[in-house]
Structure 1
Amino acid sequence: MSPATKRTVVITGGGTGIGAATAELFAEAGHDVTITGRREEVLAAAAKRLGVAHLAFDAADPAAVQAALDQLPTGIDVLVNNAGGNTDRRRPPVAAGDLAGLADGWRANFEANVLTTVLVTEALKPRLADGARIVTVGSVAAKQGSGSYGAAKAALEAWNVETARTLGVRGITANIVAPGVTLDTEFFAGTVSEEWVAGRVATAFNRRAGTPAEIAQAIFFLGRADAGHLTGQVIHVNGGVHTAR
């Protein structure tokens, strides 16, 4: 790949699952990739396997994002906002009537999914090349509802439209890829059974879950230099589940 076609790519939450699968695609295509996340050991292992750079920091912490800027690339062509997940799956259930616990849960999902995306994107805006691509991982939950997690992903859809509008004059696009049930990730944190998965994927037109590689392919396409007229969109990669009623 010539220097003129090589692109600089930053992927948050790049150590596992969809983020790692996306990093693998961009790296295999010859691009310069940096993955980020909170866990140094996980990132280092993934970076070694994929042949990419890595930087550990908490994307929901403004001070940590600011401090990371000294080590993040400049001239970024593709920013993939993948950090996030349903924090409710790692927290104890909130008792009925516990409004403080409910508020904590909603804040946790907002921070993990919205703040990680907003803070990193805002910090890197001055470093985005004209014609850059911003791709954010959303969820079918934004359409179907899933408590605070679905609400957080829905908030990202509104943010994405504003981002696409304000940066469009620079030729920068902003899109969301919305998976449904996707296995071989850390998302469910061992909290679901095979029966639960079967029930959820029964509404998919192809009657199956997705894979990280399939989601990564959609992200990779949106990150292409020649995908410049597709912006402000939510691309559903969930077997048609978003149409279920």
Structure 2
Amino acid sequence: MTTAVRTAVVTGGGTGIGKAIAAELVARGLEVVITGRRAEVLASAAEEVGARAVAFDAADPRAVEAALAELPSTVDVLVNNAGGAVDGEDLRDRWLANYEANVVTAVLVTTALEPRFADQARVVTIGSIAGRRGGGAYGAAKAAVEAWTAELAFTLGGRGITANVVSPGYVEDTEFFGDRMTAQRRETLVSQTANGRPGTPADVAAAVAFLTSPEAGHITGQVIAVNGGAALGR
């Protein structure tokens, strides 16, 4: 008797943490679809990690709806990784843009795929240490992700579906900081950790992979910090 292959969708899967998560899930035997706005970047990442690419803007409801035809008919794992810090001089626009990029994307994709979730499916959304330490509009958006996930865990829990947040601290080898990372800022962030090193995309991917495994069925509604001790959960 053969066991059905589990399927996964990873948003924002073209670079950094999303790409590392996709690679880890592929290595664990899942069929993975990565999504993102940049078709060329996405295609390159998909070829590298052994996934399939579907390009669309997760913040656009019509684009999400149109993409459903290319997404798996049954979803065992959804990782909401799309997002990031959005800069801007206009205060209102900056706050709305961060909320859209980090919260609306996750809500739209999760809601669209919910009818396709298998029993015992796993939903993991990427948060941030900034959600509990400040961080302006970006931190506020990541705090909202935690509140939404807490409700989602109870909405989906009757079918054995879990919903959790993985909350990284400072992670190198991503596009998050762009050209804003200085040597002094890096030193400050690393000095805040207990283990004296920055995080890596692989660190985050390992935590996500566990939470999406069948063995993690009794962990739901939680925020799992991956920050080297920079912020202690007690």
In structure 2, runs of 5+ residues without a counterpart are none
Which has the higher mean CA deviation after the structures are superposed, 235-244 or 201-210? 235-244
Task: Give the partner amino acid of 1:43.
Answer: L
State yes or no: 1:141 paired with 2:140: no
Superposition pairs for residues 152-163 of structure 1, below 5 Å? 152-163=141-152
Superposition pairs for residues 88-237 of structure 1, below 5 Å? 88=87, 91=88, 94=89, 101-237=90-226
Superposition pairs for residues 34-113 of structure 1, below 5 Å? 34-88=33-87, 91=88, 94=89, 101-113=90-102
Return the alpha-carbon distance in structure 2 between the equivalents of residues 70 and 242 of structure 1.
41
Return the alpha-carbon distance in structure 1 between the equivalents of residues 25 and 140 of structure 2.
30
**Aligned length in residues:** 233
Which runs of at least 4 in structure 1 moved beyond 3 Å after TM superposition? none
Show the counterpart of 1:10: 9
Return the alpha-carbon distance in structure 1 between the equivalents of residues 179 and 212 of structure 2.
31
The CA RMSD over aligned residues, in Å, is: 1.2
Quote the offset at 1:225 in angstroms.
1.2
In structure 1, runs of 5+ residues without a counterpart are 95-100
Quote the offset at 1:184 in angstroms.
0.1
Which has the higher mean CA deviation after the structures are superposed, 192-201 or 227-236? 192-201
Return the alpha-carbon distance in structure 2 between the equivalents of residues 171 and 113 of structure 1.
25
Show the counterpart of 1:97: none
Quote the offset at 1:52 in angstroms.
1.0
Quote the offset at 1:191 in angstroms.
1.0
- Identity among equivalent positions (%) equals 57
Return the alpha-carbon distance in structure 2 between the equivalents of residues 77 and 68 of structure 1.
18
Quote the offset at 1:243 in angstroms.
2.9
Task: Give the partner amino acid of 1:130.
Answer: D
Return the alpha-carbon distance in structure 2 between the equivalents of residues 74 and 217 of structure 1.
26
Task: Give the partner amino acid of 2:99.
Answer: F
Q: Secondary structure at the match of 2:208?
A: helix
Task: Give the partner amino acid of 1:170.
Answer: R
Q: Secondary structure at the match of 1:142?
A: helix
Q: Secondary structure at the match of 2:231?
A: helix
The C-alpha deviation readout for 1:32-54, integer Å capped at 9, x for no partner, is 00000000000000011111111
Residues 33/160 of structure 1: CA separation in 2 closer, same or farther (3 Å cut): same
Quote the offset at 1:241 in angstroms.
1.2
Return the alpha-carbon distance in structure 1 between the equivalents of residues 183 and 49 of structure 2.
30
